[in-house]
Structure formats: C-alpha cells, structure tokens
Chains A and B, each alone.
Chain A
Amino acid sequence: MSERMALTGNDAAAYALKQINPDVVAAYPITPQTELMHKFAEYVADGEVDTEFIPVESEHSAMSAVVGASVAGARCSTATSSCGLALMWEILYVAASCRCPVVMPVVNRALSAPINIHCDHSDTMGARDAGWIQIYSENCQEAYDNIIQAVRIAEHPDVQLPVMVTFDGFIVSHTLEGLEVNDDDAVKKFIGEYKPEHTLLDVDDPRTFGMFSLQNYYFEFKKQQVEAMQRALKVIPEIAKEYEKLTGRAYGLLDPYRCDDAEVVIVGLGSTMGTAKQAADEVREEDGIAAGVLKMRCFRPYPFAEIRKALSKAAVVGVMDRAISFGLGGPLFNEVRSALYGGEKPLVNFIYGLGGRDLPLDDAREVFRALAKVKDTGKTGPETRYIGLRE
C-alpha cells in the first residue's frame, strides 16, 4: 500500500506529480524549483507519464499555457519560485478568476533585489491576494501529501480554485528526507478523473472564457470567488480526512503542537516550525517554559475561527514571519492579530530568515524565552523583533 523512500522535496513533489499524471505540464527553470521539473521531464522522457510537456519561454507563459490548457478541460500543472511567481502574478489572478483548478508547487525563495536564491516566504506572501488556495508544507512528506490532496481540493465542485502548495527552497527542496509514498493505484483512485462541466473544446456549445466585464457584473464574479474560498475551509479538512483513511497520515487547516497546555505559543509557516517544535520540547524540559507551536498549513483561505480556538489558552503569542510587508510589518503577524482582535493577549512579531538566513535551534529557543519574559513581566516590549539581523 505504501513504500518508504528517501527523496528531496523537489523529487517528492515530482513523484507526486508523476502519480497524478496531469494531462499538461508547463515548465520553466528557476532556482530552487528547477530540479522538480528536471525530475518530471525524466518521467516524460521515459514514458512513465502520459503528460504533454510544454517547455515554455517564461513563467508568464507557463501560467498562460496552463490557463489555456485548463479551460480546454485538461488537468494541468506548473511549478515555480520567487521571481518566476512574481512574473506570472498577472495570470495568477486570471487563473483564479477563471476558476481553473490548477495545482502548482511553489518552492519558496526570496524576491530580488538584491537577487537571492534562498528561502523566504516573500514570493507566496506577495501572491496571497490572488485568489489561490495556499497550503504550506513543513517537510518532504507534507509536500508530497499536500500536492496530492490539492488536486481534490482544487477540483471539488464547491471550490474550483487553483491551489499553490509551498515548501521551503533548499531547506526542503534540496534536502533528502525519509517519507512514505502511496502506491500509484491508490493515488489514481484518490484523485479520480477530471470532469469539467464546460470546456473550450465543446465546439457544439461554444462559450467565451475570460470576458470583458464592466461595472455592472465584475463585482458579482468576485463575490463568487469569495464564496468558493469560504467553502474551501470546509472542503480542505474533508479531503484530509479521506486522505487519512487512505494513508494514516492526518492533516488539518492547522497543525497544533503541544498547544493544549501551552502558555507561550509560536505561530508560523514552513520548515522553521519543525525547528520550533524541537525548541518547544527543549525549553519545556530545560527552562520549564510551557511552550507550544501552532503551525499553519492552510494560509488561504485564512482559518480565522480555528486560529482563535487554537490560541485561546495561550497567554502570549509569538508570530514568526519569513517575509516582510514593507510599511506594514510581518504579514502573518498582522493576519494573526486580526484573527485575535478583541482578545487581550500580548502579541509579538518576529521577522526572521529573509534571503535564506538560517534560523538555528538556539534562536528558536530564544523566541520562547522572550515570550516567557513577556508573560512573566506583563510587558510586551517591542511588538516587532528581528532574529539574526546584523545591526
């Protein structure tokens, strides 16, 4: 039923795509996503997938080709990072607004300038308003599992929105980890067939996709998208439950770790939450700090109610952002704070790891110690703090 493998994040994602066997995949290289498509291209060259592979001439064209293929009724995919995602930004909105159920792995990397090929979340954070469902992965196992579930989430009749599945550049994409993979038939059965209602190839019932819509209709299209995003909050856990039945691996909108009796909690996304979990264990043991970690898996749609519930017992919350929204602060911090509006607990924002600067375990422990200090003194101190910044 399942097999244990050692794969890098890119290879795990490629393996998931192989088992999904999309009709069309568009590919354009960008570090650190590049090897994902190398691997997939090998599957194509060896005839292990039926996918028609389009080696496009830019990421903008990658997403454009994917939109064209999707409205034509194909199950399709592409993958990117950083500037590539930024370049396709215009078409991300088109894909979501045209309700194309595309699944796209995004390997998180910092945006230029200066040019930097390492991990931070500024790329996908910058796209958080585009109408795509965003699911963040902590490690190779999650990257693999999330991509497979994403197909069902995207194509669900109550949703019909594109999904980006992220994992950290280099830290996960290029790191070999052990993971369990399902067998091909199990994945095939789980994702089923893609049966869209209307397509561009219905020549007997011709329709126009992507029309020009004026003040009298545009707003209503957007409201439909809002409602689809809302419904996704229900669909994502439903699909996760089905997936758990198949694999034994459980997923939710959030991944709380030791939050039930935690007095200080870190909230964050991606691989650093793995470090945070280890730090939580260690500071509980060594410092007597009742530490917990609330890893967010589903970032869009934003699970307001679930966040409030998960943080209801914490005395102090620290939000770790691997991105900055210039002029605002940490984007995740601001969203968590917005979810907790009306509550009284102190909130502290920690900005870290931009441009791939490592967050060592020691620093994660320090975050918990800082939060414990806030709790003990009753003084929040600086609301925004920077970890690892040289000043």
Chain B
Amino acid sequence: MPTTKLKELGNMEELLTGGHAACPGCAGPVILRQVLLAAQQDDVYVVGSIATGCMEVCTTIYPNSAWRIPMVHCAFENAAATISGAETAYRALKKKGKVDKDIRFIAFGGDGGTYDIGLQSLSGALERGHNFTYICYDNEAYMNTGIQRSGATPRGAFTTTAPAGKVSPGKTECKKDLTAIVAAHGIPYVAQTSPHRARDLMEKVQKAVRTEGPCFINVLSPCPRGWRFKPEDSIQMCKLAAETCVWPLYEIEDGKVKINYKPREKKPVRAWLESQGRFKHLFSAKNEAVIEQFQQDVDRKWNALLKREETGT
C-alpha cells in the first residue's frame, strides 16, 4: 500500500534532486517532489513527460538533469501528446514481452502549456483514454518567459502583457476553469489540490496514478516573482487560496464532486488580493468594481461546487 506518512517518505529516495535552477520560494519543485514521492512506491515506476516551462527549464540544463525518473521533453504544447505516444509504446512493447516493469505515466505542464497552447493535445489524450495522469502546476501566467498573461491569469492581475496602466486594470477576463473543462471529458478522476496540504496532494496523486485511464490534477503553484510576494510565503499563499476559496481543494470521481477542504471561516478575497503585489493597483478607487467582480466569481464557483457535492450531480 502506498504511504503518505512523512516519516516513511523521509526514508525514500528523492526523485527530483537538488541543484536545479528554480527561484527561491518557487512552489514548483515542492509540488514535483511531493508528486514523485507519492507516485513511485511499491514496485510502481514513474515515467514522465514535461512541457517547456519553468520546471522543465530549471531541471534539465544539459549536461545535468534533476530527474531521477526517465523524463522526456518534446515541446511546449504537447506534453499530453508525447506521453500518449510513450504510454502506447509501453503497451505495445509489454504485449510483446519486451518490457516487464509496472510503469505509470505522468505528464507535467504549467498553466501556459496546459490551459492555453497545450489544451488541444490534452483534450485529445483525454478523449482517447490513454492511461496516464496529467499534473498541471498553475502559477497563473507564463512565468518562465517573464510573467505574461495566460488563460489561467485571474481577473485584475498585473502581467507583463496585460499590465495595469492609466486605462487598464490589468487582465479584464476571468480565469479559465480548466478543471471543469477537463471534468467535462468524463474521465475517471479529476482533482484540484495545493502543496500546503501535502497529504491531500499525495493521496490524490496516488489515486490518479493507480486509476486506469486518463486522470488530471490541477495544482496551485504560487510564484513569488510573478505574484510579487516574499519567497518564504509560498506555502502561506496556498493556505490563503484555500481559506478564501479562490482555489478550492476538491475531487471529481466518476462525475461526483467531493470537496476536501471547507474553511471554517471563509475569508473575503480582499485578503488574497492584498497579499500580492500583482493586485495592488486594484486598491485604488477606480478599480473597486474589479474586487467586487472577483468576489462574485469566487462565490459563484464555490457555491456551484457546494451544490454539485450536495446534489451528487
């Protein structure tokens, strides 16, 4: 049985080594290490694909690689298509007796490579029913290339391609709900999680990796550089996202919603927006409406989730 007990995990080999080039405070490597520790246990091996982006660039600078699992980087928009090929090859070769190990496939992508440019290849892989798990680490912009706006960027956020200026309050569109889009494919397991609750994240990874068929986990990945907060506060940010319901932690298993964390006291989104420099322009009088809109977006989605969980739809 796979474990999520810290004491036991502490004795296992780290599958993402130190020495990579991620920024101080980046949640990305924390997520990767939790994912890999959770997944590769009990004679199950993990093979991965990764989209171009922060994590890929930081961990694979030739001639050094931080990955202690086999890993393929093909391009930006096709982590899912690439893993489709690898997973299919595995089945083909296993059938012929050329491979005998139990290998599970995980594709990694940032929000840029998943919500936007990677959406097509993800959708295709999900529809075809390949046996793999897709993990999106969502830092809400194209961070690797310098904080450009993505479909995952929340309303009102500053990015370098939608900056707040004299006539614009930052991004005017709301954040794309990729988790819902993925769930609409009818795949067996979909989840949202965050690295501040490591057990939640790791249990979800274990569930996904051991579920037959395509599974998807969306993970919030706070970015000190892009969101403008102190590097040591990354995990606090994750917590705040859960407390404000900006990033709910939930699962959809065979179409049924289960919310894994309900804050005792739901905090107003103001707390979330105040904590990061990328939203500071929203606190001028002319942008007050954006904050209201933001709260409405969050409440609508949260209430819809609650309703789905309650009614079992």
Closest to A51 in B: B92
Chain A: residues with Cβ within 8 Å of the partner, total of 43
Q: Is the CB of B70 within 8 A of A57?
A: no
Q: Is the CB of B85 within 8 A of A57?
A: no
**CB contact under 8 A between A69 and B57, given known A203-B101, A210-B74, A217-B63:** no
Q: Is the CB of B92 within 8 A of A52?
A: yes
At the interface, yes or no: B83 with Cβ under 8 Å from chain A? yes
Q: Is the CB of A64 within 8 A of B92?
A: no
Chain B: residues with Cβ within 8 Å of the partner, total of 46
Chain B residues positioned under 8 Å from A211 (CB to CB): 60-63, 65, 73
Chain B CB within 10 Å, residue with most, of A66, A71, A210: A210
Chain A residues positioned under 8 Å from B88 (CB to CB): 24, 52, 54, 65, 68-69, 74
Q: Which of A64, A76, A206 contacts B78 (CB 8 A)?
A: A64
Chain A CB within 10 Å, residue with most, of B75, B85, B96: B85
A203 to chain B, nearest CB (A): 4
Residue interface bits B95-116, CB-to-A below 8 A is 1, else 0: 1101101010000000000000
Q: Is the CB of A91 within 8 A of B75?
A: yes
Chain B residues positioned under 8 Å from A207 (CB to CB): 65, 70-71
Q: Which residues 69-87 in B have Cβ within 8 Å of A in the complex?
A: 69-75, 77-78, 81-87
Q: Is the CB of B92 within 8 A of A74?
A: yes
Report the bound CA distance from A165 to B108 in whole Å.
34
Shortest 10 CB-CB distances between A and B: which pairs?
A68-B85, A57-B124, A65-B85, A74-B89, A69-B85, A72-B89, A64-B81, A61-B81, A68-B82, A64-B78
At the interface, yes or no: A70 with Cβ under 8 Å from chain B? yes
Residue interface bits A201-216, CB-to-B below 8 A is 1, else 0: 1110011111111100
Q: Is the CB of A201 within 8 A of B103?
A: yes
Report the bound CA distance from A212 to B81 in whole Å.
19
Chain B residues positioned under 8 Å from A61 (CB to CB): 78, 81, 84, 120-121, 124
Chain B CB within 10 Å, residue with most, of A74, A202, A208: A208
Q: Is the CB of A56 within 8 A of B124?
A: yes
At the interface, yes or no: B250 with Cβ under 8 Å from chain A? no
Q: Is the CB of A208 within 8 A of B49?
A: no
At the interface, yes or no: B45 with Cβ under 8 Å from chain A? yes
A281 to chain B, nearest CB (A): 48
B155 to chain A, nearest CB (A): 30
Q: Is the CB of B62 within 8 A of A94?
A: no
Chain B residues positioned under 8 Å from A279 (CB to CB): none
Q: Is the CB of A52 within 8 A of B49?
A: no
Chain B residues positioned under 8 Å from A71 (CB to CB): 72, 86
**CB contact under 8 A between A201 and B123, given known A24-B92, A212-B56:** no
**CB contact under 8 A between A65 and B81, given known A55-B128, A211-B61:** yes
Chain B residues positioned under 8 Å from A67 (CB to CB): 72, 74, 82, 85
Closest to A218 in B: B62
Report the bound CA distance from A58 to B128 in whole Å.
13
At the interface, yes or no: B127 with Cβ under 8 Å from chain A? yes
Q: Which of B72, B75, B101, B124 contacts A209 (CB 8 A)?
A: B72
Chain A residues positioned under 8 Å from B90 (CB to CB): 72, 201
